[in-house]
């Protein structure tokens, strides 16, 4: 469960890198009912997606040469500089050195040893997401990787995450659920799964993170994805004990999952 009382290593923000900010704002507005609010004059290319006035993520112009449109997930840290030093020591790559965000906080971006990009946020005036685990907001995070054992080691040493393995039905492999350091199982915030490189088509075989957004009606949300130019790569389908879900992509190819959680037992 993702909450907004962030602890070290828990997801606390996400933003979308897009080559067409206006088009992305229109798509997600139509699909989830989000309103895009930019930072004002001179900063029209970055801003927040809001749902009922509360921030559910960000959107900015993608300027990196050769980068694909994608969601970036940020994890909470009390010290972005120290986290950056640890990333280097563990064999990760620093993409963006720790930098101040005009008093809102400090951020840094990285690539793990198998190619998955992620980021950290050290809060200042802004702690992060203002709503989570509700329809139209982030409810889970997932890592697809070619090396599950290596990912567990890297992120376990970086954030102190613990994992719990769960066999998938029909011999579909193992799904490892992630819990922040020192937290109970109720605070599980994501999962990781090993996949062969040839199945990671979007990234040319490299590992990657993607977000899962909650929905009151997965099928209706998927219909809006299709109607507004997005695509559906899998589903909607029912997953026992999880809910009804679909793997989708926006018109530029940034992928995300839509999930209507199963009712509690």
Under CATH, which number does the domain 1-265 receive? 3.10.180.10
One DSSP character per residue, 194-254 reads E--GGG-GGGTT--EEEEEEE-S-HHHHHHHHHHTT-EEEEEEEEETTTEEEEEEE-TT--
DSSP, res 132: -
Q: Is 16 in contact with 31 (CB distance < 8 Å)?
A: no
Q: What is the dihedral of CA 52, 55, 130, 110, to 10 degrees?
A: 160
Read off the pTM: 0.95
Strand (E) positions, 62-126?
70-76, 93-100, 105-111, 117-123
Q: How far apart are CA 179 and CA 261, in angstroms?
A: 18
pLDDT tens across the length of the chain (265 residues):
899 999 999 999 999 999 999 999 999 999 999 999 987 665 667 899 999 999 999 999 998 888 899 999 999 999 999 999 999 999 999 999 999 988 889 999 999 999 999 999 999 999 999 999 999 999 999 999 999 999 999 999 999 999 999 988 777 789 999 999 999 988 999 999 999 999 998 889 999 999 999 999 999 999 999 999 999 999 899 988 889 999 999 999 999 999 999 887 5
R_g of the chain computed on alpha carbons: 17
The per-residue pLDDT for 41 is 61
Asked if residue 213 lies in contact with residue 188, where contact means CB atoms within 8 angstroms, the answer is no
191 beta partners: 142, 177
Q: Angle CA(207)–CA(112)–CA(183) in degrees, nearest 5?
A: 100
In 3D space, the residue among 95, 101, 86 whose CA is nearest the CA of residue 116 turns out to be 95
**Mutual angle of helices 218-227 and 21-32, in 10-degree steps:** 150
């Amino acid at each position: 469960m993702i909450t907004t009382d962030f602890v070290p290593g828990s997801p606390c923000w996400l933003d979308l890198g897009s080559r067409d900010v206006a088009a992305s704002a229109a798509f997600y507005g139509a699909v989830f009912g989000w309103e895009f609010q930019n930072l004002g004059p001179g900063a029209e290319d970055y801003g927040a997606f809001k749902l009922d006035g509360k921030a559910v993520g960000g959107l900015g112009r993608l300027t990196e040469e050769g980068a694909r449109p994608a969601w970036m997930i940020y994890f909470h840290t009390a010290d972005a500089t120290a986290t950056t030093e640890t990333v280097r020591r563990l064999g990760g790559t620093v993409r963006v050195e720790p930098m101040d965000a005009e008093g809102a906080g400090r951020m840094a971006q990285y690539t793990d040893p198998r190619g998955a990009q992620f980021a950290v946020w050290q809060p200042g005036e802004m702690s992060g997401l203002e709503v989570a685990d509700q329809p139209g907001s982030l409810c889970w995070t997932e890592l697809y990787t070619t090396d599950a054992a290596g990912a567990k080691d890297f992120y376990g040493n970086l954030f102190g995450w613990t994992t719990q393995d769960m066999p998938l039905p029909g011999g579909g492999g193992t799904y490892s659920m992630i819990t922040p350091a020192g937290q109970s199982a109720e605070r599980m915030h994501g999962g990781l799964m090993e996949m062969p490189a040839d199945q990671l088509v979007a990234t040319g075989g490299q590992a990657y993170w993607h977000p899962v957004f909650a929905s009151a009606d997965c099928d209706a949300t998927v219909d809006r994805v299709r109607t507004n130019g997005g695509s559906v790569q899998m589903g909607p389908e029912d997953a026992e004990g999880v809910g009804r879900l679909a793997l989708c992509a926006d018109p530029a190819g940034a992928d995300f999952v839509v999930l209507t959680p199963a009712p509690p037992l």
